[in-house]
Chain A
Amino acid sequence: MKKLFLYCAIAVSLMAYFSLTLFVMPPNFLEKPKLTPQPTLDVTLDKSKINLGQSFEIKITSKNIGDLADIQIVSIQFPNLAEIGNTVKITEYDFTQSPYYVLVGDEVGAEYTAGQKIVTAKYPSIEAFSRPINTGDQYHIGLQVTPESVGEFVIYVKSVILPHYTDLAHYPQSGILDYQGEYVKAYSVEVSNP
């Protein structure tokens, strides 16, 4: 009798367990709304005109004003350069991961697919990134740039949060498209002969 009761209890408990884990609880996790992280960038250049041989500074503050996310990348691109060399130096950096230098010819992800679509880098860039990224997290990167030729020195800046579910997960959301098929904001400094 005792055994019969035990086996009945076991059968009921097992049924309850598998009902909960296979049918009752999974929909709660599947029906959850997807997170909507949202990056913003604050970019400041200390000069708009310089003479050749002089330097200017660019300071970038990135922030996530949406939900928490896995990775936030800030990409600073130099379409005038073939290589970064001594032209660009990092002066300030507090992202959680070390900066990554993208060289011309490197394979990089495109169209916000986190590497599922790949293109070849057409100009160099510096990628600063943090992971994970909570709501309200702010990170900074500062660069000192010393152009080596006269003319307009152009810098493209963008931020992407991964995984990328909606258009809110990148900044800017419109404007110029870079070679990765992703929106960038352009900044420039006029470099003249002294």
Chain B
Amino acid sequence: MGKTISFTSKQHSWLFFTSSILVSFGVLIVTIGGSWDITNHLLNRPETFFSPPHAILYIGVAIALASTVIKFFSWKNFQNDIKSQHAKQVKLTILGIAILVGAGPFDFFWHSNFGLDGLLSPPHLFLISGMILCSTASMTSIVRYSNKKLISSSYTLFHFLIIIGLLAVLLSTSGLFYSFSLPFSDTEHFNFNPDPMFAIAFTTIAFPFLFASILYLSSSFVNGKFGIASLVGTLFLIINASTSIAQNSFLMPTLGFYFLGVIPIIIFDAMLSNSKRKLQCIAGAIPGICFYFFYFPLITHTYNEVFSHQIVWPSMTALIYFEMLESVFPLVVVPAALAGILGTIFASKISQKLRLI
């Protein structure tokens, strides 16, 4: 005789929260696989679909898919008022995962028919859109679920779990921005490379905006408690260093330089937890300005298209990056600072909206 497993409403609630975290975790794994895949393409041109980064990527998809199923069934068992509160996020997660899962066979079909695709291709755009939908919806679920616990004066497990949700959004959106800025999409059959001038303008505005807004949200969701924004920013640096720098032996000497990026992240976090809202928004200029360092080494390829015009060999990346530094940095500092400020203003509105509900 089969035994029916039944859950109490508290257990359903926990299942819902845990599965939301796991959806974000799955997307995070996908972004790590994706970032490693880009580096892999730059270093040794993998010639088949079946590469280790692709395996990591699809393990992430499997985690996100299984968690979405659990999330849906736990949500279905909620009482009506709570159910309607989370309905939009659950629907968006399902839509996101459907796109994400559909992107797999689409990508395989594309590889089979058109050979290796570039960074920006229809299946990759599908994949990234699915990731953004899933991660954003899950982060919203996590914040709404743990709202009261997040504003408590002492640190709880929720404060640290929310980091997964925020990182997934930051990395998946960074992936989308990379697609529209890196010149990696000129393939045998299609050339989806962005116009170089558009690419540098987009990079200079979009990345500072994104980074500042996610750091602001990290602090704001935990009621300005110091530490969470620093952890989100530092983990971003660690992930980027592991997938884009450490994989390339030529870039290993730049790790010390790259991890200095922890300093402005901690400074921004300290300002968010110790100042009034107006000053907090102005402080968004700090992570904004530093985007040129945070997004090393890949943005070298974007700015090289306009400022250096060299072949960016893996062994030449650091040299070209530092050669361009003195010409690029003075040009991007003001727009990047403004984009960072706008990012924090935008994030403060989003945060208010999410926490009011």
Contact = CB atoms under 8 A, between A and B. Distances in A.
Interface in B245-279: 249-250, 253-254, 256-257, 260, 263-264, 266-267, 270-271, 274
Given A22-B329, A97-B44, A97-B45, A14 B286 contact: yes
Contacts of A103: none
A116 B313 CA distance: 13
A17 B258 CA distance: 11
B311 interface: yes
B150 interface: no
A17 B311 contact: no
B78 interface: no
A69 B47 CA distance: 20
Interface stretch (B7-15, B166-174, B187-195, B317-325): B317-325
B319 A29 contact: yes
Contacts of A114: 311
B55 interface: no
B44 A96 contact: yes
A32 B316 CA distance: 11
A68 B326 CA distance: 28
Contact of B325 (A17, A26, A96, A132): A26
Contacts of B263: 13-14, 16-17
Given A6-B270, A6-B274, A22-B329, A17 B313 contact: no
Contact of B271 (A10, A32, A68): A10
Interface string A7-26: 00010011011001110011
Instruction: Tell me if B's interface is mostly helix, strand, loop or mixed.
Output: helix
A30 B319 contact: yes
A127 to B, nearest CB: 13
B51 interface: no
Contacts of B313: 70, 162-163
Interface string B290-319: 000100000000000000000101111011
Nearest to B311: A114
6 tightest A-B contacts by CB?
Answer: A17-B263, A26-B322, A70-B313, A29-B322, A163-B313, A25-B257
B354 interface: no
Contacts of B270: 6, 10
A3 B274 contact: yes
Contact of A132 (B43, B257, B329): B43
Contacts of A30: 319, 322-323
Most chain A CB atoms below 10 A, which of B249, B253, B293, B311? B311
Given A30-B323, A97-B45, A163-B316, A17 B274 contact: no
A132 B44 contact: yes
A47 interface: no
A158 B174 CA distance: 43
B43 A21 contact: no
Contacts of B47: 97-98
